[in-house]
Amino acid sequence: MTDLRPVILSGGSGTRLWPLSTPEIPKQFAPLFGDRSLFAMTMDRLVGLSGLRGAIVVTGAAHRDLVRRETASASIETSSILVEPIGRNTAPASLAAALVAGPRDVLVILPSDHLISDVAAFESAVTTAADIASEGGIVAFGIAPSRPETGFGYIEMGEERGTVFAIERFKEKPDDAAAGAMVADGRHLWNSGMFVVRADHLLEEAGRHCRALLDGVASSLPPRRSGVIDLGPEFAALEAVSIDNAIMEKTDRGLVLPIDVGWDDVGSYRSLLDASELDPNGNHVSGDVTLSDVVGSFVKSTSRRVVVSGLADVVVVETPEAVLVVPLDRAQEVRELQRRPDQS
Q: Which residues contact 302 (CB under 8 A, 6 or more apart)?
A: 287, 318, 319, 320
What span, in angstroms and rounded, lies between the C-alpha atoms of 332 and 272?
A: 12
112 pLDDT tier (thresholds 50, 70, 90): very high
CATH code at 4-264: 3.90.550.10
Q: Is 148 exposed, middle or buried (0-12, 13-18, 19+ CB in 10 A)?
A: middle
As a whole number of angstroms, the distance between CA 39 and CA 32 comes to 11
Mean pLDDT of 131-136: 97
pLDDT higher than threshold 60 for residue 340: no
Task: Using alpha carbons, list the distances in angstroms from residue 291 to 19, 302, 322.
Answer: 21, 16, 20
Read off the pLDDT of each residue in 221-244 and give the average, rounded to a whole number: 96
Distances from the Cα of 227 to the Cα of 79, 222, 243, 340, angstroms: 6, 12, 25, 39
Model pLDDT, residue 115 = 96
Give 330's DSSP letter.
G
pLDDT value for 344: 40
Q: Cα–Cα distance between 132 and 116 in angstroms, integer?
A: 22
| Residues 283-294: tens digit of each pLDDT | 999 999 999 999
- Burial group, residue 295, by CB count within 10 angstroms (0-12, 13-18, 19+): middle
Question: What is the pLDDT of the chain when averaged over all its residues?
Answer: 94
Show me where the domains of the chain are located.
Answer: 4-264, 269-337
For residue 12, what are the CA distances in angstroms to 135, 295, 300? 32, 31, 22
- Comparing 78 with 339, the larger pLDDT belongs to 78
How open is the CA angle 221-225-228, to the nearest 5 degrees? 85
- Contact (Cβ atoms closer than 8 angstroms) between residue 116 and residue 45: yes
- Nearest CA to 10 out of 44, 51, 43, 47 is that of 43
The dihedral sign for the CA sequence 322, 326, 331, 337? negative
- Quick: pLDDT tens for 253-272: 999 999 999 999 998 999 99
Give percent of the chain with pLDDT exceeding 90. 87
